[in-house]
Amino acid sequence: MIPSSYPSKEQIARLTASMLLDIQAVHFNAEEPFTLASGLPSPTYIDCRKLISFPRIRSTLMDFMTCTVMRNAGLEAFDNIAGGETAGIPFAALVAERMALPMTYVRKKPKGYGRNARIEGAMSEGQRVLLVEDLTTDGGSKLSFVDAIRETGASCAHTAVIFFYGIFDGTEEKLAEHGVTLHHLCTWWDVLEEARTRADFSTSTLDEVEAFLKAPRAWQDARKA
């Protein structure tokens, strides 16, 4: 069912941050930093995959995502909703259900047998595709998915995520240069602001997280092994 309520962008950001904190999808640890996929340290980690186990929060956030893309891109802007392997697949299915549109998914690479396809499901030339994922850091992984979609003859000018890091310079510009607009529900700054109103983390931890968010590369360089 297509949501008919359109909360403000600011309200969506605050509520999304609060819900991510509620289910403990947000992790802060400045003393023993997490190691990111890049191999670099970070005092922050977020696990959006956890959302699939919380149906009320999951449903609310998918309503928020549907409202966000329809408000920003238009109510009739898409013909197909594609999820990025793997985390984007359940969220794409939920958004497609709300928008009453076909759902597909994009593999990170061809599966190596059979049709050797990267696109699973029915995607046809000329379709306008919305790429859905759980999050984006610097936008790099989105470009490969977008290219795979465009190779079918479909277009992909929009991608939607629950969480956008919002701390690395040039992310939205990089996507824009590739002809893609990013839509998101909240960022680390929204989570930090909400966390400061709660007692989930110590003030010293949040201060260190803020130092990282303000200068992530410098923070990482100072702590490289």
Distances 120 to 41, 110, 112, 172, 223 between C-alpha atoms, Å: 35, 10, 13, 27, 41
Q: What is the mean pLDDT of residues 119-127?
A: 96
Residue 127 has pLDDT above 60, yes or no: yes
User: Quick check: 114 pLDDT over 60?
Assistant: no
Boundaries of domain holding 160:
9-218
Q: Round to whole Å and give the CA distance between 160 and 21.
A: 21
What's residue 115's pLDDT? Answer: 67
Nearest-angstrom CA–CA distance, 116 and 170: 34
The CATH number linked to 141 is 3.40.50.2020
Q: Can you tell me the distance from the alpha carbon of 159 to that of 161, in angstroms, rounded to the nearest whole number?
A: 7
Binding-site positions for orotate read 137
Whether 159 is covered by a domain: the verdict is: yes
In a domain, 179, yes or no: yes
Please give the annotated binding residues, written as ranges. Answer: 107-108, 111, 133-141
Is residue 1 situated within a structural domain? no
Known binding-site residues for 5-phospho-alpha-D-ribose 1-diphosphate equal: 107-108, 111, 133-141
- What's the structural domain count of the chain? 1
Please, are residues 196 and 208 in contact by the beta-carbon 8 Å criterion?
no
3 in a domain, yes or no? Answer: no
For residue 4, tell me if it sits in a domain. Answer: no
DSSP 156-216: EEEEEEEEE---STTHHHHHHHTT-EEEEEEEHHHHHHHHHTSSSS-HHHHHHHHHHHHSH
- The reply to whether 2 falls in a domain is no
- Report yes or no: 140 and 111 within 8 Å, Cβ to Cβ: no
Q: In this structure, is residue 22 part of a structural domain? A: yes
Q: What angle do CA 175, 180, 186 make, to 5 degrees?
A: 75
What digits encode the pLDDT tens for the residues 24-77?
A: 999 999 889 998 777 788 999 999 999 999 999 999 999 999 999 999 999 999
- Within a domain: 50: yes
Secondary structure (3-state) at 58: helix
In angstroms, the CA 141 to CA 133 distance is 10
Span 182-196, pLDDT tens digits: 999 999 999 999 999
Helices (H) and strands (E) in the chain, counts: 8, 10
Tell me, what amino acid is at 1? Answer: M
